[in-house]
């Protein structure tokens, strides 16, 4: 039997991926550093939950935990991003992804899952987790964009207001949340969708994955298309009887939270990990952030932002990311 192993481009994480060819069949080898071994267990458990609920996800083919790797099924080489990026009318294609979110949200999650001798617990997307993620904006993005500013004071002021905003979320943390639901984490093979990169799944607000998909920093959707997709979700999800204004407010709050996190993560990937290719997404991430901040629910936050942050300078820095001098 002939074997061929080829490294493939991974995600923004610490994992490495290899496509293994055995004659005419392929599978994926996922490798992690020893201290991140638990990530493989969680990944295998979440994928099993998805497959059990008839959602196409990588299946565990063999485990090599002692060597910090697992073998999973191959969902193909074409992502939904590759499939949809050149299309002019994207609404019908995106409807299929919203339907996939709705299907994922029907999963009833238990507190604990077992995989052999290992036990995995699902966490809740509580207030602490929301702050832990949006703190990346202050600790990485602002730190390296505004070297001479006292970030600690700005962080304290904005965090206090963010805390008030997060407390305005209407919908409960009672839904299976993929946590990184975007077009590059959805594969398409023989017209069948497959969901990957699911190891960060958590119990949270139903609007989180919706915001992750519609306000995806990797692909620019028109404002009208975004509105149409939010309305489509409202009409077809378990929230269809709820006030759409509550839904839109939660969407905007979680989009702001997520994009604050993303700004921090992309700068961290550059500074800490040497991955500069994500910096190209900074301008559009900032644009999405400003778009959602127009919601009156952010009135006081906007006042603080405009008073304490040099917005024009930050926009300029985002546009000259290629130069990299400011890092």
The CATH number given to 80-319 is: 3.90.1200.10
Q: Where in the chain is CATH 3.30.200?
A: 3-73
What is residue 243's predicted lDDT score, i.e. its pLDDT?
95
Query: Is 318:286 a contact under the CB 8 Å cutoff?
Result: yes
Q: pTM to 2 decimals? A: 0.94
Query: Is 290:252 a contact under the CB 8 Å cutoff?
Result: no
Q: Among 106, 107, 95, which Cα is nearest to 193's?
A: 95
The 10 Å CB-count burial string (b at 16+, else e) for 177-205 is bbbbbbbbbbbbeeeebbbbbbbebbbbb
Rounded mean pLDDT, 181-202: 95
What is residue 108's predicted lDDT score, i.e. its pLDDT?
92
Give the residue carrying structure tokens 């409807």.
95
How would you write 175-232 as a 3-class SS string?
EEECCCCCHHHEEEECCEEEECCCCCCEEECCHHHHHHHHCCCCCCCCHHHHHHHHHH
Q: What angle do CA 210, 16, 94 make, to 5 degrees?
A: 20
Q: At what angle do helices 127-136 and 244-271 cross, to 10 degrees?
A: 50
Q: Report the distance separating Cα 89 and Cα 92, nearest Å.
A: 8
Q: Kindly report the average pLDDT of the chain as a whole number.
A: 92
What is residue 53's predicted lDDT score, i.e. its pLDDT?
96
Structure-token pair, residue 262: 């993303």
Q: What percent of the chain has pLDDT above 70?
A: 95
- Strand pairing category for 202-204 and 16-22: unpaired
Q: What top-level class would CATH report for the domain 3-73?
A: alpha beta
Q: Among 272, 275, 288, which Cα is nearest to 321's?
A: 275
Say if residue 327's pLDDT is above 60.
no
Query: Is 266:279 a contact under the CB 8 Å cutoff?
Result: yes
- The phi and psi torsions of 76 (rounded to 5 degrees) equal 105, 175
Say if residue 16's pLDDT is above 50.
yes
Q: Where in the chain is CATH 3.90.1200.10?
A: 80-319
pLDDT tens, position by position, 29-78 = 999 876 577 888 999 999 999 999 999 999 999 988 888 899 999 999 99
pLDDT tens, position by position, 196-221 = 999 999 999 999 999 999 999 999 99
Say if residue 323's pLDDT is above 60.
no
What is residue 322's predicted lDDT score, i.e. its pLDDT?
52
Query: Is 6:18 a contact under the CB 8 Å cutoff?
Result: yes
Say if residue 106's pLDDT is above 70.
yes
């Amino acid at each position: 039997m002939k074997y061929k192993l080829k490294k493939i481009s991974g995600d923004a994480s610490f994992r490495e991926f290899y496509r293994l060819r055995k004659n005419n069949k392929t599978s994926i080898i996922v490798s992690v550093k020893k201290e991140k071994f638990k990530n493989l267990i969680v990944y295998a458990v979440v994928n099993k939950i998805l497959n059990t609920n008839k959602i196409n996800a990588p299946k565990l083919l063999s485990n090599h935990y002692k060597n910090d790797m697992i073998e999973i099924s191959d969902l193909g080489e074409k992502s939904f991003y590759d499939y949809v990026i050149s299309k002019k009318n994207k609404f019908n294609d995106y409807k299929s992804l919203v339907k996939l979110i709705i299907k994922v949200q029907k999963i009833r999650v238990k507190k604990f899952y077992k995989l052999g001798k290992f036990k995995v617990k699902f966490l809740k997307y509580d207030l602490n987790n929301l702050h832990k993620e949006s703190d990346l904006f202050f600790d990485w993005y602002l730190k390296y964009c505004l070297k001479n500013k006292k970030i600690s004071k700005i962080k304290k002021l904005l965090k206090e207001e963010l805390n008030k905003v997060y407390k305005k979320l209407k919908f409960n943390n009672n839904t299976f949340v993929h946590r990184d639901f975007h077009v590059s984490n959805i594969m398409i093979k023989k017209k069948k969708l497959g969901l990957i990169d699911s190891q960060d799944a958590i119990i949270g607000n139903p609007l989180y994955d919706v915001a992750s998909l519609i306000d995806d920093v990797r692909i620019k959707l028109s404002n009208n298309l975004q509105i149409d997709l939010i309305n489509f979700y409202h009409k077809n999800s378990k929230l269809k009887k709820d006030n759409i204004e509550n839904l839109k407010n939660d969407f905007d709050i979680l989009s702001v939270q997520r994009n604050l996190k993303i700004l921090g993560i992309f700068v961290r990937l550059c500074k800490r990990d040497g991955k500069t290719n994500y910096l190209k997404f900074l301008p559009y991430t900032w644009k999405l952030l400003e778009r959602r901040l127009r919601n009156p629910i952010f009135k006081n936050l906007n006042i603080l932002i405009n008073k304490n942050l040099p917005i024009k300078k930050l926009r300029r820095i985002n546009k000259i990311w290629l130069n990299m001098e400011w890092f």
